[in-house]
A = this chain, B = another copy of it.
Amino acid sequence: VSPNTPTAADIWDAGWSRAGAGVAGSAIRELLKLTEQPEFISFAGGLPAPECFPAEEITLASERVLASSASRVLQYGPTEGFPPLRELLASLSARRAIPVTPEDVLVTSGSQQALDILGKLLIDSGSPVLVEQPTYVGALQAFRPYGPRFIPVAMDVAGLIPEALESALAGLARTGARAAFLYSVATFQNPTGVTLSAERRGAILDIAERYDLRIVEDDPYGELRYDGAPAPHLAALDAARHGRPRHVVYLSTFSKLLAPGLRVGWAVGPASLLRKMALIKQGLDLHTGTLSQAIAHESCRDGLLDRQIPRIRQIYGARRDAMLRALERHAPEGVRWTRPEGGMFLWLTLPEGADAARTLARAVERKVAFVPGQAFHADGAGANTLRLNFSYAPPASIEDGVQRLCEALAEG
C-alpha cells in the first residue's frame, strides 16, 4: 500500500451530496447516548412507559395472525398498507371527526416516515417551510436534507400565533414566494406541551383559505389528554368546512397508544396527495412491515384502544402532576415552565443568557438527563430552553430527578 493509496474515508468523503455533506452527528447526541444507562434518570427521550404496552394483547394478536394467515402476514404487501388496517384507520379517523375512506389512508413506517415523504414531495432547495418555534426536532431532521428555508412562526401558551403566521405568509407573498407548507403539532406539542386553542384553529384555517396554505398536522399525542376540553383537529375543521380534508394532511401513529416498536403510523388527507405519497413510499421501503400492521389491526379491532387510552391517561397524568409538583418545589428563581394538558413533554425557559447545553453537562454528572432546547429551533435560537419528558420515569424518579436537575440549574 503506497502512502498515496486513498482510504475508505477518502473515497466516500470525496463525494457526498449536499444533503449528505450537511448531515452530522452532534455532541449532545453523543452525550445523551451515555444517559441511556440504567442508573440515569432520563427526561431526555420521548419514550412511552413500557408499563403501558398492551403486551398480552399484542402477544395474542401475533399468535392469532400467524396461526390464521402466516402466508399473508409474512409476505410482501401493498405499499398503501394492509387492507384491513386501512379500514380500521378510516373508522378511527371518522371518530376523530376526519371523514375519509380506506382508500385515502396511507400506512407509514411510524409517522416519521410521512414527514420524509412530504419533504420529498413538497420541498425543493430554498422552499419556504413554516414551522412552529420551537418545533419537533425529528421534523427538522426529516425536512432538512431537501434544503428548505425554514420560517419559524412564534407561539405562546395558546400555541401558534395566527397573526405571526399571517405576517409570514404576507411577507412571502410580497416576494412572490409561496410556502411549501406549515408544519404543526397542534395538540400537546413536542417539545413544549402547548396546545393550539380552539379559537386559533379556526383562525388558522381562515388564513389557510386566504393563502391556499397547505398544512401538515402531526398528531401523535392527541388522545393523551389529562384535563381540559379537547379542541377539534385542524383536519377535522378543514373537513367540516369542505366535506373532506382540503388544506390539511393529518398524520398519526400507534407509537404512543400501542407500542412504538411496531413502527406503524398513518396519513390521511387529500386524495391527490395521498396517491403521490404512496408512489414515493414504494421507493423508500416498498411497504410497512406486514406482520406489524396485522398485529396492530388484530389487537385494535375489538376495541383495545378504548381500554388503552384511559389507562395511559391515568398513568401519564399522574407523572405530569408529579413533575409539575417537583418543579414547584425545587425550581430556582427565574425558571418558567409550561403546564401541558396532555402529551409527554413540558418545556422550561431559563433566564435570558442561560445555556441549557452547559446545564446538561452538569446534570449528567448528577445522572439526570434532558434535551437542550436549541435543536428544536429552526433558527438556532433557544439556548436558554430545555425539554423534559414525563411519560417514561415513574413518579418517585420524577421527584428525585427534578430535584437533581434543579440543583444543576441552580448552579448557574
Contact = CB atoms under 8 A, between A and B. Distances in A.
Q: How many copies does the complex hold?
A: 2
A287 to B, nearest CB: 7
11 contacts: A8-B246, A9-B270, A12-B273, A13-B272, A15-B178, A17-B180, A20-B121, A23-B121, A47-B76, A74-B260, A75-B259
A289 B270 contact: no
A291 interface: yes
B59 A66 contact: yes
A309 B242 CA distance: 55
A18 interface: yes
A285 B109 contact: yes
A161 to B, nearest CB: 23
Contact of A16 (B14, B48, B276): B276
A64 to B, nearest CB: 10
A50 B62 contact: no
Contacts of A339: none
Contacts of A24: 279
Given A8-B246, A77-B261, A291-B292, A145 B276 contact: no
Interface residues of A, number: 94
Interface string A362-388: 000000000000000000000000000
A352 to B, nearest CB: 32
Nearest 10 A/B pairs, CB to CB: A50-B71, A261-B290, A74-B259, A20-B121, A55-B70, A8-B270, A141-B283, A263-B289, A74-B261, A109-B285
Interface in A15-40: 15-20, 23-25
Most chain B beta-carbon neighbours within 10 Å: one of A276, A284, A288, A292: A284
B13 A146 contact: no
A154 interface: no
Interface string A101-145: 000000001101101100011111001000000000010011011
B55 A66 contact: yes
B25 A53 contact: no
B287 A263 contact: yes
A275 interface: yes
A35 to B, nearest CB: 14
Interface string A36-67: 00000000011110110101001100110011
Given A283-B142, A285-B263, A16 B291 contact: no
B284 A284 contact: yes
A167 interface: no
A245 interface: yes
A59 B271 CA distance: 37
A200 interface: no
Contacts of A396: none
